A and B are shown apart, each in its own frame.
Chain A
């Protein structure tokens, strides 16, 4: 527990800060964070697995150009004398032209199925019925206050200071 003085000071800040940050801005930040949690790699290197240009892993768009070399062509396992068969056009296309999931969902047409047909889009868990709880964005303990600038929660004066010095209004890591 923070000293009483600090608590009072902090709660005053909360009061004066109520509508500083629009809910859309917070929602956008949350969405960006959730997208980050989907990434397979934090640092996407400019040099790829096999030394050529690589499009970004998880959110990758179409492969950049026909010349892109594939990894599956490069390695042959087991019997080296095994006959090389011709790859079909369908398979070639799938290998060369990677599409991200959003594109594939759009192209699948599942958004236009009758509403009684269950799909990926309708299967998401329902929104929570219990109210959210505040957890300190610095130490993970119960949060009691929100930053007046960026509205991230913190638990005491100490964590408030850490927050202000490290990631207030920007994402440091």
Chain B
């Protein structure tokens, strides 16, 4: 049976990106996305608790206390998660009847099997969805626009860089299959960056330790990735007052505005305005994505991590990965991110290979939109686990059906052997069991090795 309503839910650790696809009414297929905080927030100012979508009603953004369902990128607080999902599914946001809907939900990379079981339990025992499909954000990216702007089919070998709230992943994909043995994780994400900015600003200027919301906004407004870190440090040092880096971030005065602002030249301050001076903080914070060792984190930076991942892939395909790197996730929105990554990758990649980095308009919602495309382009109803199947065989039903790292072992062996056994008809994009075909890849793209 095909449910007429499919809920697409990109369940991020900081924000949920969700929407509905309705099969019966074509005009509704427009991927309208709702973005809501995945948090239960207590405002000190008005002594109210805001659950998920209710945050838009909050007026006092100072000293918010956050309760997040995710810890270090994994879903552990199901009480908080249920509260947020209850609101999301209710008529206040999506207004769905779960029992008549199917669900596509994203999960973190390398999600733990014992956590996955709880996903199953909530989907079927609590919300009673008709059926559901669970996968990582990167696994639906090949169905979206990132690697195929316009109508061009995406390359067979792509590498997704997903830099989100909790961490940053490098995810190589061959023929729509994640190559789990080469997936790498850098433990730097938006949360760490905001906390680092909080700490540095509090030590140097104002105590902002309780002002996560404000400092996150300051980070998003002011920070950029430097293409020459040491030079930018010199500029700030040698001429602290007059240089083109230093900005003043005017902290919000909550009776007037929710967010702070970057002070413009003609911007007169009132006597009560408080200003946070952003000097080397502007670029030292995002720098941690490229130099985690600056705070003592013993991991390679993003560029070296990408190179390490590609080295684990079949050697005759590596050129294609260098040429098809795509960026998703909020941190990739920092100004200069792509430029810095490109210059570093260019020096790490073998000179005969082209390095190419693809971006999309909205890296935050790219996984959501790709998820919608995935639902439409595949025989989605064949891929899901149904409630009946769950009732029949419990967690085994999804273990058998959802492809993730746990069954990647056979996958990587297949790819090592390079055996392309596939009765694939190219029209059937939904054939997820399709194995990587190296023969096809070689002939499929001749532009990779240019020299």
Chain A proximity of B85: nearest CB distance (Å) = 9
Chain B proximity of A48: nearest CB distance (Å) = 8
Is A67 engaged at the interface, CB distance under 8 Å to the other chain? no
> Is the pair B237, A30 in contact by a Cβ cutoff of 8 Å?
no
**Measured CA separation A105–B111 after assembly (Å):** 10
> Is the pair A128, B110 in contact by a Cβ cutoff of 8 Å?
no
Residues of the B chain whose Cβ atoms lie less than 8 Å from the Cβ of A43? 209-210
Task: Name the 5 nearest CB pairs between A and B, nearest first.
Answer: A77-B90, A78-B90, A30-B296, A78-B91, A72-B82
Q: Which of A50, A76, A126, A138 contacts B49 (CB 8 A)?
A: A50
Q: Which of A49, A107, A116 contacts B40 (CB 8 A)?
A: A49
> Is the pair A41, B202 in contact by a Cβ cutoff of 8 Å?
no
Stretch at the interface among A3-11, A14-22, A94-102: A94-102
Contacts known (A94-B118, A120-B110, A126-B305); A140 close to B298, Cβ less than 8 A = no
Residues of the A chain whose Cβ atoms lie less than 8 Å from the Cβ of B113? 108-110
Contacts known (A49-B49, A126-B300, A173-B209); A118 close to B114, Cβ less than 8 A = no
Is A135 engaged at the interface, CB distance under 8 Å to the other chain? yes
Contacts between the two chains (Cβ within 8 Å), count: 215
> Is the pair B185, A124 in contact by a Cβ cutoff of 8 Å?
yes
Q: Chain B: interface secondary structure?
A: helix
Interface string of B292-303 (1 = CB under 8 A from A): 111111111100
Binding site for A on B (CB under 8 A): 40, 42, 49, 51, 65-68, 71-72, 74, 76-80, 82-83, 86-87, 90-92, 95, 109-110, 112-115, 118, 121-122, 125-126, 180-181, 183-187, 191-192, 195-196, 198-200, 202-204, 207, 209-210, 212, 230, 233, 236-237, 279-281, 284, 291-301, 304-305, 308, 405-406, 408-409
> Is the pair A37, B185 in contact by a Cβ cutoff of 8 Å?
no
**Measured CA separation A118–B76 after assembly (Å):** 22
For the complex with contacts A108-B112, A132-B293, A141-B237, 19 further pairs of A-B residues with Cβ separation under 8 Å are A30-B297, A37-B191, A38-B72, A40-B66, A43-B210, A60-B71, A72-B82, A77-B87, A101-B76, A104-B112, A118-B110, A124-B187, A124-B299, A125-B184, A125-B187, A133-B293, A140-B233, A140-B279, A173-B209
> Is the pair A37, B192 in contact by a Cβ cutoff of 8 Å?
yes
> Is the pair A104, B293 in contact by a Cβ cutoff of 8 Å?
no
> Is the pair B185, A141 in contact by a Cβ cutoff of 8 Å?
no
**Measured CA separation A90–B185 after assembly (Å):** 31
Chain A proximity of B110: nearest CB distance (Å) = 4
> Is the pair A38, B192 in contact by a Cβ cutoff of 8 Å?
yes
Binding site for B on A (CB under 8 A): 30, 33-34, 36-43, 45, 49-50, 57-60, 70-72, 75-79, 87-88, 90-91, 94-96, 98-101, 104-105, 107-110, 116-120, 123-130, 132-133, 135, 138-142, 166-167, 172-173
**Measured CA separation A138–B199 after assembly (Å):** 11
Cβ-closest chain B residue relative to A90: B121
**Measured CA separation A38–B121 after assembly (Å):** 28
> Is the pair B210, A58 in contact by a Cβ cutoff of 8 Å?
no
Residues of the A chain whose Cβ atoms lie less than 8 Å from the Cβ of B280? 139-141
